[in-house]
Copies of this chain bind each other. A is one copy, B any other.
Amino acid sequence: MQFSVLVDIRLRGGISDPAGATIERALPVLGYEGIAGVTVGKTIRFTIEAADAEAARVAAAELTESFLTNPVIEDAELTVEAMSPESGR
- Chain A residues proximal to chain B, CB less than 8 Å: 8, 10, 20, 23-24, 26-27, 30, 32-50, 59, 63, 67-68, 89
Contact = CB atoms under 8 A, between A and B. Distances in A.
A38 B45 contact: yes
B37 A40 contact: no
A39 B35 contact: no
Contacts of A34: 48-50, 59
A20 to B, nearest CB: 8
Given A23-B68, A32-B63, A68-B23, A44 B48 contact: no
Nearest to A8: B43
B10 A35 contact: no
